[in-house]
């Protein structure tokens, strides 16, 4: 990557034609003595994972990558890394002129359709993170034929939104530069910088939302904030506040 302007993220990049999941390879490096910043990129993945155990379609034309990092912090800080990554993806997509927004916790949308997702997997021992693998999938040059029928209404690709073929190398380069910038804020404990940027880029903050929580509970209200644990703060219709840590969110009216 001759043009990559980073200090340590992507100094080593491993390219593959086909892997099961780039996250698996990054985890393998995590278990070895590989330094932080190594990046795994694949043209296709045969067994990629999305959040909540869902499979993630990864045909040719998309950008599928994982970054290995070794932050020296307690496991509770891992969600901030995911938020920082969402900010980096969103800012990257905006550089090509599309109005990308973040949907809590970490989907990237364009015109209310998902274009990118993030899967963070961490390994901790005692109260410290050994390593974190941040997996990013961007539907860069995919077409509608690449998606299963049941998803077609809710997904899009960068190419479809920008009405042109997108240079994948360029997208990944800009993303790695943004990622390093926001991961550095994380290391410097400038958490407010990350959270403020997240709030600014998010479609969720200030919107009416419905959240289906893991145990079947449904919460409705206004999303008024996010904290550094990655929890969304909801103001319910009776005026009470609730912190939501996990769930499937829908913006009302979409
Ligand atoms: C989501 O459900 O929104 C998260 C999707 C994450 C997909 C990426 S593609 C690269 C990396 N490897 C995987 O197996 N998953 C992530």
- Is residue 228 scored above 60 in pLDDT? yes
Average pLDDT rounded to a whole number, residues 51-78: 94
247 inside domain: yes
Confidence (pLDDT) at 2: 61
Q: What is the three-class DSSP state of 124?
A: strand
- Ligand 1 atom nearest residue 48's Cα: 14
Average pLDDT rounded to a whole number, residues 83-96: 97
225 inside domain: yes
Domain co-membership, 236 together with 178: no
The alpha carbon of 56 and the centre of ligand 1 are apart by a number of angstroms equal to 6
Domain co-membership, 22 together with 141: yes
114 inside domain: yes
Domain co-membership, 36 together with 95: yes
Which residue among 136, 140, 155, 246 is best mutated to probe the pocket of ligand 1, counting the most ligand atoms within 8 A of its Cβ? Answer: 136
Average pLDDT rounded to a whole number, residues 222-228: 95
Q: What is the ipTM of this complex?
A: 0.99
The alpha carbon of 36 and the centre of ligand 1 are apart by a number of angstroms equal to 19
Mean pLDDT of the chain: 95
Whole-prediction pTM: 0.96
7 inside domain: no
Average pLDDT rounded to a whole number, residues 174-193: 97
Average pLDDT rounded to a whole number, residues 94-109: 96
Q: How far apart are CA 188 and CA 184, in angstroms?
A: 6
Q: What is the pLDDT of residues 162-176, one digit of tens each?
A: 999 999 999 999 999
226 inside domain: yes
| CA angle (109, 60, 30) in 5-degree steps | 80
Average pLDDT rounded to a whole number, residues 120-124: 95
Final residue in a domain of this structure, among 178, 201, 224: 201
Residue with CA closest to ligand 1 atom 9? 137
- Is residue 254 scored above 80 in pLDDT? no
Domain co-membership, 99 together with 169: yes
Full residue range of the structural domain in which residue 171 is found: 13-201
Is the CB–ligand 1 distance for residue 49 below 6 Å? yes
The alpha carbon of 173 and the centre of ligand 1 are apart by a number of angstroms equal to 18
Domain co-membership, 133 together with 223: no
Average pLDDT rounded to a whole number, residues 195-209: 97
The domain total for the chain is 2
Average pLDDT rounded to a whole number, residues 107-113: 97
% of the chain with per-residue pLDDT over 70: 99
Nearest of 213, 231, 170, 185 to residue 87 by alpha carbon: 185
What contacts 24+ positions apart, CB below 8 Å, involve 195-200?
Answer: 195/83, 195/226, 195/227, 195/228, 197/87, 197/91, 198/83, 198/84, 198/86, 198/87, 198/102, 198/226, 199/225, 199/226
Q: Which CATH number covers residue 173?
A: 3.30.930.10
Confidence (pLDDT) at 53: 87
Q: What is the pLDDT of residues 128-146, one digit of tens each?
A: 999 999 999 999 999 999 9
Q: Which CATH number covers residue 239?
A: 2.30.30.100
- Is residue 1 scored above 80 in pLDDT? no
């Amino acid at each position: 990557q001759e043009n990559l302007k980073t200090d340590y993220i992507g100094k080593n990049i491993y390219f593959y034609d086909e892997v099961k999941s780039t996250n698996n390879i990054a985890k393998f490096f995590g278990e070895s003595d590989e330094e932080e910043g190594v990046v795994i990129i694949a043209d296709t993945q045969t067994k990629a994972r999305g959040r909540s155990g869902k499979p993630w379609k990864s045909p040719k034309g998309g950008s599928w990558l994982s970054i290995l990092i070794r932050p020296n912090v307690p496991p509770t800080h891992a969600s901030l890394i995911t938020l920082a990554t969402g900010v980096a993806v969103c800012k990257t997509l905006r550089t090509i002129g599309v109005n990308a927004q973040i949907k809590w916790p970490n989907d990237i949308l364009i015109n209310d359709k998902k274009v990118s997702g993030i899967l963070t997997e961490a390994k901790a021992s005692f109260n410290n993170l050994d390593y974190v693998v941040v997996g990013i999938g961007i539907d860069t040059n995919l077409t509608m034929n690449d998606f299963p029928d049941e998803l077609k209404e809710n997904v899009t690709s960068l190419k479809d939104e920008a009405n042109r073929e997108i240079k994948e190398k360029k997208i990944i380069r800009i993303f790695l530069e943004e990622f390093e910038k926001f991961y550095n804020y994380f290391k410097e404990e400038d958490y407010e910088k990350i959270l403020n940027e997240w709030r600014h880029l998010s479609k969720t903050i200030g919107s009416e939302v419905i959240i289906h929580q893991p145990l079947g509970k449904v919460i409705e209200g206004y999303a008024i904030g996010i904290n550094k644990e990655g929890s969304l703060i909801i103001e319910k219709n009776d005026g009470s506040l609730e912190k939501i840590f996990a769930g499937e969110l829908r913006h009302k009216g979409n």
